[in-house]
A and B are shown apart, each in its own frame.
Chain A
Amino acid sequence: MQTAIEVNDLVKVYKNGVRAVDGVSFHVGRGEIFGLLGPNGAGKSTTIKILIGLLDPTAGDLRINGVDIRRHPAEIKRATGYAAQETAIDDRLTGWENITLQGRFYHLSGREIRVRATEVLEMFNLYDRRKHLTATYSGGMLKRLDIACALIHRPQILFLDEPTLGLDVQTRQVIWDYVEQLRTEHEMTIFVTTHYMEEADVLCDRVAIIDNGEIAALDTPDALKAGIGGDVIYVRFSGIDGNESALQSRIGAVSHVRQVKPTADGTYRVIVEQAGEETIPQLFMLCEQLGVTIDAVSLKKPSLDDVYLHFTGHAMRDDTENHEAHMKARFMRGRARRGK
């Protein structure tokens, strides 16, 4: 696979001393949907803004399509599209005016703009409303228009910063359907940050978890989940009567089972490397042989939330409250590193 984005040892220290990104490295392949997950202030937006040329990196080797982003900023801007976290739509202009002006800012000809704006507005189901002021659009329509605007110059790589933040469940699904479509039909590389773990899990080919400006983990969602312990089966038996240790060792011998542990309430916790649903029938067969009855069984697959929790040490929902304290801590750390 060819590389679309190469980031090696990226560091960004803001003028006010905040060390937002601290030695981040990753590669994104062409046509890949790559997710960057992390708490607020972890350095996600900063990383995106550096990659599209809005901010200058403090240090690091950064390439897009093999081109050094610091040497050829204009070329990079033409190859990338960007939709920010806040929908940057002028609500006193119509949808059509918003998108055609965007085309002008990318130096497209009037003819190209008309053809592409029509095409992209149709794709995003906004063409019929193109002549209406965007002040009359719903939140979901604005977000769609914002992403549509980012596509007017047909970028090879699309950067989406929290594209589904604050949208309802259906609209989030719609946005993700478009993202999938862009990848499959236009072979676009998509770099996305999100707060919604279940979305990242379903849509991203690979995710990186960033915390405190450093990459804590990077892999496919499945590998990350497997990495923190795999599936867990909870089983409650009856009719064991003193054969506990024998049962335990027999279960432990079942393929893919990594660990068997009784819990305080008498339920056994069986950790399986993968595909716990395929282990359950084997447990039933085993118990039948041993004359033991299974009273209850449940399967818990690790979610990306668990992965996130594992690597960042805090759940996603706490982040907003801790944001301020976190920024302060980072500021102090940045100062300390610069030797002040």
Chain B
Amino acid sequence: MTLLFDTWYVAKRELIKFFRTKVRLVFTLIQPVIWLAFMGNTMNRVTNNPFGAQMFGTSNYLTFMTPGVILMTVLFGGVFGGMSIVWDRRIGYLEKLMAAPINRGAIPFGKALAVMVQGAIQVVAIVVIALLFGVRFQTGIGGVLLIIVIASLFSGILSGISLSLAASIRTIETLMAIVNLFTLPLMFASNALFPITMMPGWLATIAKFNPVTYAVGPIRELTIHGWEWGKILPGTGVIVGLTLVFMLISQIVFQRATSE
């Protein structure tokens, strides 16, 4: 019980700050708009024919890329999830938290929860933007809800990785350098923006093992086709599993880093 309670208040602190900096909220949404408006509309001319429809599964590239843009946005949010722990250590807040009788596990859990809630809010905003761009979600409200859940779990994986790194990193600059190193490769070595069938063999192999691909799968299915559980469940299962694994790892790493 106290774990849940403590997790919520650790998360709440981050969320108060998230909602207060409305400028940041707007800026995180500018990028998806740019992707959809610039790349989406250009690529639309490539896919808007029978060949493109076969290659991409839809003749509307905007519909194809919306799941990719959703994941890209939550990925960027997630990788910076560890930043708040580095910051808290620096200002001494982490020590203050640990001097309180809270369950220590609540610290990484709370930080990850905050990232996941922020991710969910961003996904809602991107869905609205996509609707304005003419994208239609085949599975309606129910599908969109499941998309939100999958995307926010995916940000949980990334924040788990980020929190694990942050437990032993002392400066924000180092953490930023490390996460920047693997965010772009993660995006491009996946089916987020282009179908795997278009990729050269070596890249396709990497893409098949990339967790981004597993997350894109069910989201794209829900967006383009419909409730085909056979194609939705496997990817979702992998994402749920990876979330649990990385939450656990971040927990172990954190406990080890803070015991002396």
Q: Do A and B bind each other?
A: yes
Interface residues of A (CB under 8 A from B): 14-15, 52-56, 73-74, 77-78, 82, 84-90, 92-93, 97, 101-102, 104-107, 149
Interface string of B11-30 (1 = CB under 8 A from A): 01100110011000000000
Stretch from B57-65, B99-107, B154-162, B171-179 forming part of the interface with A: B99-107
17 further interface pairs, Cβ-Cβ under 8 Å (given A53-B99, A93-B16, A107-B2): A14-B260, A77-B99, A77-B101, A84-B95, A84-B96, A88-B95, A89-B93, A90-B17, A90-B91, A97-B13, A97-B16, A101-B12, A102-B96, A104-B5, A104-B9, A104-B12, A105-B100
Question: In the complex, what residue of chain A is closest to B101 when comparing beta carbons?
Answer: A77
Given the known interface contacts A104-B9, A107-B2, the answer about A86 and B99 at a Cβ–Cβ threshold of 8 Å is no
Q: Which 5 A-B pairs have the closest CB atoms?
A: A88-B92, A105-B100, A86-B92, A77-B101, A88-B96
Offer 14 A-B interface pairs, CB within 8 angstroms, sorted by A: A15-B260, A55-B260, A73-B101, A78-B101, A86-B92, A88-B91, A89-B91, A90-B91, A97-B16, A104-B5, A104-B12, A105-B9, A105-B97, A107-B101
Hey, which chain A residues are within 8 Å of B21, CB to CB? 92
Interface residues of B (CB under 8 A from A): 2, 5-6, 9, 12-13, 16-17, 20-21, 91-93, 95-102, 259-260
Q: Is the CB of A74 within 8 A of B93?
A: no
Q: Is the CB of A52 within 8 A of B16?
A: no
Q: Is the CB of A106 within 8 A of B101?
A: yes
Hey, which chain B residues are within 8 Å of A55, CB to CB? 260
Within the complex, what minimum Cβ distance (angstroms) separates B3 from chain A?
A: 12
Q: In the complex the two chains form, what is the Cα distance from A89 to B91 in whole Å? A: 7
Q: In the complex the two chains form, what is the Cα distance from A269 to B2 in whole Å? A: 67
Given the known interface contacts A88-B91, A88-B96, the answer about A101 and B13 at a Cβ–Cβ threshold of 8 Å is yes
Q: Which of B13, B16, B98 contacts A54 (CB 8 A)?
A: B98
Q: In the complex the two chains form, what is the Cα distance from A93 to B91 in whole Å? A: 14
Question: In the complex, what residue of chain A is closest to B13 when comparing beta carbons?
Answer: A101
Hey, which chain A residues are within 8 Å of B97, CB to CB? 105
Q: Is the CB of A88 within 8 A of B16?
A: no
Q: In the complex the two chains form, what is the Cα distance from A15 to B99 in whole Å? A: 20
Question: In the complex, what residue of chain B is closest to A97 when comparing beta carbons?
Answer: B16
Hey, which chain B residues are within 8 Å of A101, CB to CB? 9, 12-13
Within the complex, what minimum Cβ distance (angstroms) separates B184 from chain A?
A: 29
